[in-house]
Structure 1
Amino acid sequence: MRVLVTGGAGYIGSVVTAALLEGGHEVTVLDDLSTGHEDAVPAGARFVRASLHDSAPVLADVRPEAVLHFAAKSLVAQSQEAPELYWENNVGGSLALLEAMRAVDCRRIVFSSTAATYGEPDQVPIPEDAPTRPTNTYGASKLAVDAMLTSYAVAHSFAAVSLRYFNVGGAAYGVGERHATETHLIPIALQVAAGSREALTVFGTDYPTPDGTCIRDYVHVTDLAAAHLLALPAPAPGEHRIYNLGSGTGFSVQEMVDAVREVTGHELPVVVGDRRPGDPARLVASSARIRDELGWAPEHTDLREIVTDAWAFAQSRRD
């Protein structure tokens, strides 16, 4: 299948691109490199540097049979400070992409959504029918694209899947997580272990959890890629499916600290900070629907495996 991957120079997009190539697909990557890295695009994929707003000529040339859509701005704090960037890129760019797809009669899409669409949940693990009440512009922009996909499925016979997940970790195909502005727990902890940060700040140790720290969901990037490949052929024209991807149990911040200490052999200094406003004690997604309908379940569920793979990638970047 001819597949276009938007955001394929980023962490998740590049791993999914490698998995697609391994599966025998013909892949073109579209990325503006605002946060991605050209050297992360796997050999064998064609790379085109362009924005979502300029995607029409690319699709007219490639004429893909399907699109996997990862390109987005994703910093929660920035989305609150400069919401216009998120409406312009995540929503406006996605609209331009869907119209470019419609122009070349490409109507199959898998969208990288987010569990941030749910906001602070009433129940955990979070099912797909939970109320969507995003607490930041990033989550709101992703929810808007989900709504867009539903309407395009109904009006224009798109076959669409939205995959919602929280945190991704690990590395695969020689690709791992690296951001100019790092906000994620695993890479920050590994930077402390590598000596490029002095300490890790843990925001709150008095939550109603077994060890007092927040519990969050983590999925290995290999399992995430597998879910995207399973989702690609799943929907029928006129159908928009929404699936959550998660571990079902989650890991606490303290468990993550312990795993990083064990894997790296570094003492990992920790500074305890105040709770961050709006941080729920536990955020975990239920994956029951995608398990029942597509047979997906995470295989790499050991936290130390996730950290080990991420650490190996981080160390390879230092060589």
Structure 2
Amino acid sequence: MSWLVTGGAGYIGSHVVRSLQAAGFEPVVVDSMSSGVRSFVPEEVPFYQLSILQTAKLVEIMKRHEVTGVIHLAGYKYAGESVKHPLLAFEQNATGTAHLLEAMATARVHHMVFSSSAAVYGTPAEDVVTEATGTFPESPYGQSKLVGEWMIRDQAVAAGLKHTSLRYFNVVGSGSEELYDASPHNLFPLVFQALNAGKIPKIFGTDYDTPDGTCVRDYVHVADLALAHVEAARKLEAGEDLEPVYNLGSGDGVSVRQIMETVAEVTGIGFTAIEEARRPGDPARIVADGKLAARDLDWRMRHSLAQMVHSAWEASAQRR
């Protein structure tokens, strides 16, 4: 079973590649290397550096390796930055997905797992989102991910594509010490960077209507996320029907203050976070209900917050 992983040299993609190998799949990686790390891809895994906008090359690779499915993780993943660069976000996420779908149709590849985002929900009225929650994305990133979902659903009608889209919030931790989160925008790398520089991390807003006054969010371990992607691929390969979308969420979330306290405990670096005013647009609490994914994709939170922080801290040592 050969599956193509787009964005397979990235933080999440590289974990998916390893999970595919462990499950008996033969992954093939395509990555533009705009944010990927070449060493994240195992030497024995076929690797191609190219953009998913290169349709003909994708067709050639799919045919060469007799690919039967695609796990699509490639894209421009920075919601805040996408506001500054909306055309880039749409080119990489929407146009790129269209080119990938075209290549799949040409190569007769009929299974897709799409790595979507809970950013498609925007700021929902309810604080626990389900798959039935309305989608009102507030950034070009979230909009482009939703457009990707629409295109995949339409292609399913037109070409018999078997698919599912996985929505999730904040991905943290590491499943292997050599795989670290290199994003300049994610919370854990930013906190670790501050501590390594002798600075004190900041909390924005401490007067929210939450148990400790700070924002509550979903944080999921990257290895758990990878397993869900692989289980979705396995079921599609076996001809089983899946829901069009699944939330990969904790159902309860953790607060920013809890994260800071856990980071201090795990790293042994004592600090009290600097408290700043709220940032505009930050809702008090947003978490996702993962019951459907638990039913169909063996989704569950296998790691505690302390384990998430510990694994991320250990992996980040490569960058210190």
| TM-score normalised by length of structure 1 | 0.94
Q: How does 1:52-71 map to 2 (within 5 A)?
A: 52-63=52-63, 64-71=67-74
Q: 1:304 aligns with which of 298, 303, 306?
A: 306
Amino acid corresponding to residue 97 of structure 2 in structure 1: S
1:118 maps to: 121
Task: Give the whole-Å Cα distance in 2 for the aligned partners of 1:166 and 1:197.
Answer: 29
Give the stretch that moved more between structures: 68-77 or 232-241.
232-241
Which deviations, in whole Å up to 9, do the C-alpha atoms of 1:158-210 show, x marking residues without a partner?
0111000000111013312112xx121112112223x2362212111111001
- 1:153·1:239 contact (CA, 8 Å) conserved in 2? no
Amino acid corresponding to residue 299 of structure 2 in structure 1: W
1:145 has 2:145 as partner: no
Report the Cα offset of residue 238 of structure 1.
8.9
Which deviations, in whole Å up to 9, do the C-alpha atoms of 1:43-73 show, x marking residues without a partner?
3211100001114323323331100100010
Task: Give the whole-Å Cα distance in 1 for the aligned partners of 2:255 and 2:190.
Answer: 15
Q: 1:290 aligns with which of 293, 315, 319?
A: 293
Amino acid corresponding to residue 57 of structure 1 in structure 2: K
- 1:215·1:282 contact (CA, 8 Å) conserved in 2? yes
Task: Give the whole-Å Cα distance in 1 for the aligned partners of 2:47 and 2:203.
Answer: 39
2:222 maps to: 221
Report the Cα offset of residue 269 of structure 1.
5.0
Task: Give the whole-Å Cα distance in 1 for the aligned partners of 2:77 and 2:227.
Answer: 22
- 1:154·1:238 contact (CA, 8 Å) conserved in 2? no
Amino acid corresponding to residue 161 of structure 1 in structure 2: T
1:247 has 2:250 as partner: yes
Runs of 4+ aligned structure 1 residues displaced above 4 Å come to: 235-240
Task: Give the whole-Å Cα distance in 2 for the aligned partners of 1:141 and 1:61.
Answer: 26
Gaps of 5+ in 2: none
Count of residue pairs the alignment pairs up = 314
SS, match of residue 54 in structure 2: helix
Which deviations, in whole Å up to 9, do the C-alpha atoms of 1:119-165 show, x marking residues without a partner?
11122321001000011111000000011111111111001110000
Query: What do you get for the CA RMSD once the two structures are aligned?
Result: 1.6
Gaps of 5+ in 1: none
Give the stretch that moved more between structures: 308-317 or 214-223.
308-317
Report the Cα offset of residue 13 of structure 1.
0.2
Report the Cα offset of residue 239 of structure 1.
6.8
Identity %: 40
2:16 maps to: 16
Task: Give the whole-Å Cα distance in 2 for the aligned partners of 1:59 and 1:237.
Answer: 25
2:188 maps to: 186
Task: Give the whole-Å Cα distance in 1 for the aligned partners of 2:310 and 2:165.
Answer: 29
Task: Give the whole-Å Cα distance in 2 for the aligned partners of 1:237 and 1:224.
Answer: 20
Q: How does 1:50-199 map to 2 (within 5 A)?
A: 50-63=50-63, 64-173=67-176, 174-179=178-183, 182-193=184-195, 195-196=196-197, 198-199=199-200
Task: Give the whole-Å Cα distance in 2 for the aligned partners of 1:241 and 1:127.
Answer: 13
- 1:198·1:269 contact (CA, 8 Å) conserved in 2? no
| CA 276–243 in structure 1, closer or farther in 2 if over 3 Å, else same | same
Report the Cα offset of residue 77 of structure 1.
1.9
SS, match of residue 220 in structure 2: strand
- 1:158·1:239 contact (CA, 8 Å) conserved in 2? no
Amino acid corresponding to residue 48 of structure 1 in structure 2: Y
SS, match of residue 52 in structure 1: coil
Report the Cα offset of residue 261 of structure 1.
0.2
Report the Cα offset of residue 292 of structure 1.
1.9
Task: Give the whole-Å Cα distance in 2 for the aligned partners of 1:187 and 1:282.
Answer: 22
Task: Give the whole-Å Cα distance in 1 for the aligned partners of 2:52 and 2:273.
Answer: 40
